[in-house]
Amino acid sequence: MNETVKKEKIVEVVINEKGTALDRTFDYILPAELALKASAGKMALVPFGKSNKKREAFIMSVKNDAQKDIVLKEAADIFEPAMPITYAQLKTCEFLREEYFCTYSDAFSCVLPKFARKKGKEQYKTTISLSGKYKTKEEYLSDIKSNARSQRLAIELLGKDFQDLNEFKRINNISGDTIKKLQEKNLITLNKNEFYETHYGKNNIEKQSANILSDEQRNVLDEYYNCDKDKFLLHGITGSGKTEVYLNMIQDAIDKGKQALYLLPEIALTAQTVGRIKERFGDCAVIHSRLSEGERYYQYKRIASGEAKVTLGARSALFYPYKDLGIIVLDECHEESYKSTSSPRYDSIEVAEFLSELYGAKLVLGSATPLIESYYYAVCGKYKLLKLPNRIFNRALPNINIIDMRQELKSGNRSVFSSILENCIQNALDKSEQAIFFLNRRGMYTYVFCRKCGYSERCPSCDVALTYHSDVKKLMCHYCGYEKDLETHCPECGSDKIRHMGTGTQKIESEIANKFPYARIIRMDKDTTTTKYAFDEITDNFKNHKADILIGTQMVVKGFDFPLVSVVGVVLADMALNMPDIYSSFRAFCLAYQAAGRCGREKGGGDVIIQTYSPDHYVIKHIKNYDYESFYNDEIKYRKKLSYPPFSQMYGFYFFDENEEKAKNTAYEFAQSLIEKIKDEQCRLIKIYRPAKPEVSYINSKYIFHVIVKTSAEKNIKNTMKIVYNNIIHKNNIIAYMQKNSGV
Ligand code: ADP
Ligand code: ZN
Ligand code: ZN
C-alpha cells in the first residue's frame, strides 16, 4: 500500500436546526487540521445550502467513506459543545427517531438540554428559592408588611425549588429592589454557580446500613446474581420489600465501579423516596421534570463526570450522559407516566432496554402489577422472572370486599355509597383513623350501562367500551369508528335502568361531604396539585392527620405511606373497566390493586371496599384475592383472541388541524396511501382501522383525527408506515404524532 495516499476523513453530521429538509445526516470532508479533532459527540461548523451559510451541527460519526458519490463540502470548524455529549446519547437520538418516527431535531431536544446543544463556555446563572427559614407560606408572609405587594407576590410564587432569577423577575414583573429587600430579611436564597436540591435536603446525609434481608429477598438476589440474562422482571406484591432488593442490586453495581439509574414514575419521586435512597448511598442525583435549568445543569455535570454514582429520576433521567451505567431499575414499571406525552412519544421501558444493551447494563423492571406485555415477555423468557409473593414479615394484606351495586339498588339504596362502605368510613372516623376515596383516573368519558344487570355497551369487533357523544346522540367506538344509537332498554335484561355514566366526580365529592359533615376532607387531583409544592403539602397534611378523608384520582394510589389509613373505597370500579380502550381491564386491575396497597400500611389489615355493577368480571374476581397471575391468564386470552399487544403492535397516528376537514382528509389520505403501499403484504396480520375521532378530539382549537394500525411482530411494516407518514405530514403541512401501544 502506498503510504502517501491518505484516506480522507469524513464526518457525518446532523444540523442543529429544525426543518423537514434537514431531517437527515450530511457528510463533510475534514481538512487535515480538523481531522484529528473530530469525534462523535463533538460539534462542527459547516457550510450549508446555496449560500453556504455556516451552521452548527452534531457529529454523529467519523468515517472514511462518504454516503454517496457526490462532491462534498469541507467542514469549517470542529468544537466542543458547551457540555459533554456521549455516544450513548447520540445513539439514543437515532433510536428515538427510528422507533417513534420523530425528527432528529425532536430527538435532540428530547435527549439534550438546551445548555448542551450549543457552542461556548459553561454559563452560570443565578437562581432563587425560598430560604427555608420557615415551614409555611403564612410564616414567610408574616415578615412582610401587608402593603408590600410586590414582596408578598414574590413569596407567594416562590417554592423550595430553585428557579432562574432573571426569568422569575421578568415573567412576574418583580424588581431587583424587591429581591434585595427579601434577601435582607433572609426570606430567599440566591445561588450563583452552584445548585443544590434543597427541596430534598442537602447531600451527604449520614448513611444508614442495609436491612437484614428476608429469605425471599435473599433468594431473589441469588437468582439475580447467578443468572446469565441481563433483563429482569421483579414481580412482588406491595410491601414485599422490592425497594430493598433494588438497593442491593444498585450497591452491587456501584461496588463494580459503575453508575446506577433508578427510575420512578414522576409522581412517586417524593421527599420520602429520595430520603430513603440518600440514607443508603449518602448521595444521589435527582432528576425530575420540574428541575430548573440550573439544577439540571448541575446534575448533568455530576453525572457526566461520574461523580454521581446513583441517579434517581423520572423518565427523562434516561437521557443523561452516564459514563458507565451498570444497572437501570424501573420501579412501578406499569405506570403510564413512563410513556412520554410529547414528541417523541417514547416508552421508557423500550428506551431502557435499548440503553441496557448499549451499556451492557442490567435492566430490572419491578411492579406488583406489571404490564401484561412485560409479564408475557417474562413468561416467554425474554426477561428473567423474579418473584416476591409475600409481604415482608408476612404482614396481612387488607381484606378486599366486593360490593354488588345491583343488589344495593334492589334493596332501595340509590346513593353512590353502599351501606357497607358508609359503615366502614364511620368506624374509621370514630377510631380516629383515616380513609381514602378513590375515583376514576379521568372523568370525561361517558359510557352506557345497566344499573340492574351490569350490562355495558361494547364494540362488537374491537370489544372495547363504546362512549356516548351527546352532539350526535350516538355511541361510538374510538378504534374503528363503529356507531350505534342509544338504547332505551337494556339489550340484556330489558330493564329501563340503562344509564350513561360519566363525570360524576363532583357529585360524589359533595355526597361525601354531606354524609360526613364533621370529617376534614382534602382533595388531590390535577387541579389541586399543579405544583410540586402543593402536591407535597397535601400528602404531608394527610400524613400528619390534618385531614380525615382524602379524595383523589389515580394520584392517591401511588407509593405513599399513610400509616393511619384503614379504609380505602373504590367508588365505582366500572368507570375504569369501561374506559374506551383495550387496556381498560388492565388499568382497572392495577388501580384497584394499588389503591388497596394504600391501606393498613403500618399495622396490616384494614378494609378495601370495591363497588361495582359487574362483580363477575374477571378483573373484579381476581382482584379480590390479589391474584395477578390468574388475572394475567384471563387477560392474555382476550389480548390473543383479538391480537392486541403483546401479540401485535398498535400504532396510533394522530393528525391535528384548525380545519376539521383537513384533519379528517389527511387521516383518510394516510390510511389510503398505506393500504396502497402495502398491497403486496396485506394479510390478516395487518389491520388498518378506519380513520376516527379519538375520545378527546378537539384540543387547543385543533380538531384531531386518528388512524390506528395493528401489525403483528412478524409483519412489522414500520418502515413503510414511517415513509408514508412523513410524506403525508410534509405534503399536507400538518401537525401530527405517532404513539405506539397506548390507549386512544
Ligand atoms: P415494596 O417496594 O415491595 O412495596 P418496600 O421495599 O417498600 O416494599 O418494603 C415495605 C416495608 O418493609 C418498608 O417499610 C421497608 O423498609 C420494610 N422492609 C423491606 N425489607 C426489609 C427487611 N429485609 N427488613 C426489615 N424491613 C424491611
Ligand atoms: Zn340490564
Ligand atoms: Zn370498534
Pair (495, 511) in one structural domain: no
Domain count, the chain: 6
Residue 207 is assigned to a structural domain of this protein = no
For ligand 1, say whether the CB of 211 is within 6 Å of any of its atoms.
Answer: yes
Query: Considering the domain boundaries, does residue 620 fall inside one?
Result: yes
End-of-domain residue from the set 640, 668, 689: 640
- The larger pLDDT score, comparing residue 397 to residue 346, is at 346
87 and 172 both lie in a single domain: no
Residue 201 lies in a domain: no
| CATH for 719 | 3.30.70.260
Tens-place pLDDT, residues 30-49: 998 898 889 999 999 999 98
Q: Is 236 in the pocket of ligand 1 (CB under 6 A)?
A: yes
Q: Is residue 208 part of a domain?
A: no
State pLDDT tens for residues 306-362. 999 999 999 999 999 999 999 999 999 999 889 998 889 999 999 999 999 999 999
Return the residue whose CA atom lies nearest to atom 18 of ligand 1: 241
Say if residue 263 is in the same domain as residue 157. Answer: no
Rounded mean pLDDT, 166-188: 88
Q: Assign residue 679 a region: left if phi > 0, alpha if psi is -120 to 50, beta otherwise?
A: alpha
Query: CA-CA distance, 227 to 329, in Å (whole number)?
Result: 17
Q: Are residues 735 and 685 in the same domain?
A: yes
| CA–CA separation, 196 and 207 (whole Å) | 19
Query: Quick one: pLDDT band at residue 12, thresholds 50, 70, 90?
Result: very high
Q: Is residue 486 part of a domain?
A: yes
| pLDDT for the residue numbered 69 | 61
Q: Say how many Å lie between the CA of residue 406 and the centre of ligand 2.
A: 10
Å from CA of 405 to ligand 2 middle: 13
Q: Is the pLDDT of residue 442 over 60?
A: no
Confidence of residue 510 (pLDDT cuts 50, 70, 90): confident
CB 213 less than 6 A from any atom of ligand 1? yes
Domain presence at residue 209: no
Pairing of strands 310-313, 285-287: parallel
Q: Same domain, yes or no, for 266 and 373?
A: yes
Question: Which whole number is the average pLDDT over 289-315?
Answer: 89
CB 502 within 8 A of CB 574: no
Ligand 1 atom 10: residue of nearest CA: 239
Q: Which of 117, 143, 176 is the last residue before a domain boundary?
A: 117
Report the greatest alpha carbon distance in the chain: 98
Which residue's CA is minimally distant from atom 24 of ligand 1? 211
Does 489 lie in the same domain as 539? no
Q: Which atom of ligand 1 is nearest to the CA of 214?
A: 23
- Distance (Å, whole) CA 679 – CA 522: 57
User: How far apart, in whole angstroms, are the C-alpha atoms of residue 384 and residue 228?
Assistant: 9
Q: Which ligand is closest in space to the CA of residue 710?
A: 3
- Is the same domain home to 677 and 627? no
CATH of the domain at 615: 3.40.50.300
Pocket test for ligand 1, best of 392, 562, 598, 599 (most atoms within 8 A of CB): 392
What is the overall mean pLDDT for the chain?
A: 86
Residues 53 and 37 in one domain: yes
Spell out the SS3 assignment of 69-105: CCCCCECCEEECECCCCCHHHHHHHHHHHHHHCCCHH
Mean per-residue pLDDT, 497-521: 77
Does residue 343 lie in a domain region? Answer: yes
Using a 6 Å cutoff on CB, does residue 239 contact ligand 1? yes
pLDDT over threshold 90, residue 71: no
Average pLDDT over residues 155-176: 84
Residues 435 and 549 grouped into a single domain: yes
- Among the candidates 577, 607, 640, a domain finishes at 640
Distance 501 CA to ligand 3 centre (A): 20
Residues 493 and 530 in one domain: no
Alpha helix (H) ranges present in 176-325?
A: 176-184, 215-225, 242-255, 271-281, 293-305
CB atoms within 10 A of CB 324: 14
Q: Is residue 612 pLDDT above 90, yes or no?
A: yes
For residue 375, tell me if it sits in a domain: yes
* Beta-carbon contacts of residue 691 (< 8 Å; ≥ 6 apart): 481, 664, 667, 668, 670, 671, 705, 706, 707
Question: Using CA atoms, how far apart are residues 687 and 215, in angstroms rounded to an integer?
Answer: 49
| Top mutation candidate among 243, 247, 394 for ligand 1, by most atoms within 8 Å of CB | 243
End-to-end CA distance of the chain, in Å? 61
Mean pLDDT of 515-523: 88
Give the rounded distance of the alpha carbon of 685 from its chain centre: 30
Are residues 606 and 734 located together in one domain of the fold? no
The three grid cell numbers given for residue 201, joined into one nine-digit string: 435536603
Range of the domain at 664: 649-740
Q: Indicate the range of 506-520, 569-583, 660-674 predicted with least confidence.
A: 506-520
Per-residue pLDDT tens for 699-730? 888 999 999 999 986 666 888 899 999 999 98
Query: Do 491 and 463 belong together in one domain?
Result: yes
Q: How confident is the model at residue 503 (pLDDT cuts 50, 70, 90)?
A: very low
CATH number at residue 81: 3.40.1440.60
Give the tens place of pLDDT for each residue, 665-691.
Answer: 999 999 999 998 887 666 556 789 999
